[in-house]
Amino acid sequence: MYYRNQKGWHYFAADIRDWRDTASARFDERVTRHAKDGTLTEQCPTDALSAFSGSKIICVGRNYRKHAEELGNDVPTRPLWFSKPPSAIVGGGQQVILPKGYGRIDYEGELALIIGRQARNVTVEQAGDYIGGVTACFDMTARELQKSDGQWTRAKGFDTFLPLACLVAPFSPEWSRGMLEVWKNNELVQKDRFSSMVFGFAELVADLSACMTLEPGDLILTGTPEGVGPVAAGDRLKITISGPAIISLSVTCAE
């Protein structure tokens, strides 16, 4: 369950009948215990933006070597940043609307970090204390537009191009040994461990906080592994991130 106010994302810990929020340095681990077998999954409300209360959504590109290779790109030597607008958010169980006239639209499954407290110029060693939690999402991409524009704002920014789970698991270093899996129409199409990232969670937060202040509730999308591909109307996508907890998100594609 979630609750939103100006401080950030709030999640109810049923076992202690209290709210935990991303304004604190860390979530209490108990927020996940109300979920049977550790799996967190929930239908989002129609107003999916109610599940986001940060100031920005920043994403890193080509953060898995094999994904960069499958698209014929070099692996960056520094994190390659871009942004997505909050208007791109759509909740689990809802539809991704495929825009007409823009060519191929790809899915990219990702783990998103949720910033827990204001971060500015934090070190790699400090960065974990500023991450409140993690969740699952898709970074939908108009691939042909991405190539023709050169920069990625339009290709990544269409309405519904950020399917986002409404539930969060507390962050811990154990997530670096976790796993991401994506299914398209019940076929496994992406699978990799977060340890395969070029830049780890702490490196991403430290690098980004060196140029902009991160606020509670801000999202950092951490990149996608190899196996991205096109979608068509009627396709069903599901992503699961697993580690200390499990979060799943499903959406359908429509025109």
Confidence at 79, pLDDT banded by 50, 70, 90: very high
For residue 96, which phi and psi values (nearest 5 degrees)? -90, 120
* Domains of the chain, each with CATH number or no CATH: 2-254 (3.90.850.10)
Q: Contact at 8 Å (CB) between 143 and 71?
A: no
pLDDT score recorded for residue 165? 86
For residue 83, which phi and psi values (nearest 5 degrees)? -130, 160
Residue 38 has pLDDT above 70, yes or no: no
Residue type at 146?
A: Q
Q: Across residues 39-58, what is the average pLDDT?
A: 61
Residue type at 161?
A: F
How far apart are the C-alpha atoms of 74 and 62, rounded to whole Å?
Answer: 8
Helix (H) or strand (E) holding 179: strand 179-184
**C-alpha angle 16-18-21 in degrees, rounded to nearest 5:** 125
Residue 21 has pLDDT above 60, yes or no: no
Residue 249 has pLDDT above 50, yes or no: yes
Q: Comparing 11 with 122, which gets the higher pLDDT?
A: 122
Residue 117 has pLDDT above 90, yes or no: no
Residue type at 243?
A: G
How far apart are the C-alpha atoms of 154 and 158, rounded to whole Å?
Answer: 7
Confidence at 51, pLDDT banded by 50, 70, 90: low
Confidence at 35, pLDDT banded by 50, 70, 90: very low
Give the DSSP letter string of 19-53.
EEETTSSS--GGGGTTSGGGEE--PPPS-GGGG--
pLDDT tens, position by position, 4-13: 333 444 443 4
pLDDT score recorded for residue 187? 98
Average pLDDT, the chain: 82
Residue 26 has pLDDT above 80, yes or no: no
pLDDT score recorded for residue 116? 81
How far apart are the C-alpha atoms of 22 and 160, rounded to whole Å?
Answer: 24
Q: Comparing 42 with 132, which gets the higher pLDDT?
A: 132
Which of 217, 113, 248 has its CA nearest to residue 170?
A: 113
Q: 58-72, 89-103, 121-135: which has the minimum mean pLDDT?
A: 58-72
Confidence at 25, pLDDT banded by 50, 70, 90: very low
CA distance from start to end of the chain: 30
Q: Across residues 2-30, what is the average pLDDT?
A: 41
Confidence at 111, pLDDT banded by 50, 70, 90: very high
Q: Comparing 29 with 55, which gets the higher pLDDT?
A: 55
pLDDT score recorded for residue 122? 97
Q: 70-84, 95-109, 133-147: which has the minimum mean pLDDT?
A: 70-84
Helix (H) or strand (E) holding 249: strand 246-254
pLDDT tens, position by position, 142-151: 999 998 988 8
3-state helix, strand, coil in the chain (%, to 5): 20, 35, 40
